[in-house]
Structure 1
Amino acid sequence: MFPTAQTDFGLNMLRHAPSSVSLVMSPISVIYALIMLHAGSKGTTMTEINSAISRGQERSLTFPGLGNIYVCHRMFSESTNMEGYYAVQRYYSELLDQIMNSTNGVKSRINNSFYLNEKYDILPNYEQTLRTAYKTKIERVDFEDADEAAKHFDDAIAKMTEGKIRNMLNEENVEKKFALDVNANYFTAEWKFKFDKSSNSKGTFYSSGGNKHEVVYMNAFNQERLHAEDDDVQVLSLPYLDTSFALNIFLPKNGFGLHEVRARLTGERVQSLLSKLEKTNISVTIPKMKIEAYLNLEEVMKRMGVIKASSSNADLTDINRQIKLRAFGPAHRAIIEVDEDGTTAAAATYFKRFKSKSVIVGGRRKFDAVHPFLFVITKNNIPLFMGQFV
Structure 2
Amino acid sequence: MKYLSFLPFICLTYLVSCAQVSQIPNDILPNVRTLDQNEIRLVNSSSEFAMEMFREIEKSEDGNYFFSPYSIHQALSMAMNGNEGEVLEEFLKVLHFEGLDLGKANDANKGLTEFLKNVDPKVAINIANAIWYRQGLSVQPPFMTTMENYYGANVDALDFNQPNSHQVINNWIERETRGLIKNMLDGIPNEAIMYLVNAIHFKGDWKTPFDASKTTKQNFYPEKSPSTQVDMMSTGGKIKVNYFQSGQLQYLELPYSTGQYNMGIVYHSGGNLSELMPEINFENIQSWHQQSSENEMIVEMPKFKMEYKVENLKQHLMDLGLKKAFEPSPKNFTKLFEDPLMDMYISRVIHQAMIEVDEKGTEAAAATVVEVGVTSMPVIPTFIRLDKPFLFFIQEKHSGTILFMGKMENPNLK
- Range into which the TM-score falls when normalised by the shorter chain: 0.7 to 0.9
Q: Judging changes above 3 Å, is the alpha-carbon distance between structure 1 residues 116 and 19 closer, same or farther for their aligned structure 2 residues?
A: closer
Cα deviation 1:115-155 (Å, max 9, x = unaligned): 0111101111100000001111211111111x311111111
Q: What residue in structure 2 maps to residue 350 of structure 1?
A: 369
Q: What residue in structure 2 maps to residue 223 of structure 1?
A: 239
State which of 98, 113, 134 in structure 1 corresponds to 2:115: 98
CA contact (8 A) 1:118 1:141 kept: yes
Q: What residue in structure 2 maps to residue 298 of structure 1?
A: 314
CA contact (8 A) 1:327 1:351 kept: yes
User: Aligned letter for 2:88?
Assistant: M
SS of residue matched to 1:25: coil
Q: What residue in structure 1 maps to residue 304 of structure 2?
A: 289
**Could you tell me how far 1:230 is from its partner in structure 2?**
3.4
Q: What residue in structure 1 maps to residue 85 of structure 2?
A: 43
Structure 1 stretches lacking a partner, 5+ long: 58-73, 75-82, 356-390
User: Aligned letter for 2:67?
Assistant: M
Q: What residue in structure 2 maps to residue 335 of structure 1?
A: 354
User: Aligned letter for 1:37?
Assistant: A
CA contact (8 A) 2:42 2:105 kept: no
Q: What residue in structure 2 maps to residue 16 of structure 1?
A: 56
CA contact (8 A) 1:223 1:282 kept: yes
Cα deviation 1:28-56 (Å, max 9, x = unaligned): 000011011111111222122111221x6
Higher relative contact order (CA 8 A, sep 6+): 1
Residues 1-390 of structure 1: matches in 2 within 5 Å? 1-17=41-57, 18=60, 20-54=62-96, 57=98, 74=99, 84-145=101-162, 147-171=163-187, 173-208=188-223, 210-220=225-235, 221-231=237-247, 233-256=249-272, 258-295=273-310, 296-313=312-329, 314-320=331-337, 322-323=340-341, 324-355=343-374
CA contact (8 A) 1:326 1:353 kept: yes
- Counterpart Cα distance in 1 of 2:258 and 2:88: 36
- Counterpart Cα distance in 1 of 2:69 and 2:278: 17
Q: What's the RMSD between the two structures over aligned residues?
A: 1.8
More divergent stretch after superposition (312-321 vs 92-101):
312-321
Query: Percent of counterpart pairs with the same letter?
Result: 24
Bigger radius of gyration among the two: 2
User: Aligned letter for 1:246?
Assistant: N
CA contact (8 A) 2:234 2:298 kept: yes
- Counterpart Cα distance in 1 of 2:168 and 2:332: 29
User: Aligned letter for 1:152?
Assistant: V
**Could you tell me how far 1:260 is from its partner in structure 2?**
3.2
**Could you tell me how far 1:210 is from its partner in structure 2?**
4.2
Q: Judging changes above 3 Å, is the alpha-carbon distance between structure 1 residues 13 and 211 closer, same or farther for their aligned structure 2 residues?
A: farther
**Could you tell me how far 1:339 is from its partner in structure 2?**
0.4
Cα deviation 1:145-195 (Å, max 9, x = unaligned): 1x3111111111111111101110022x34342111111111111111100
- Counterpart Cα distance in 1 of 2:141 and 2:112: 24
User: Aligned letter for 1:138?
Assistant: V
Number of equivalent positions:
327
- Counterpart Cα distance in 2 of 1:41 and 1:232: 46
**Could you tell me how far 1:14 is from its partner in structure 2?**
2.3
**Could you tell me how far 1:110 is from its partner in structure 2?**
0.8
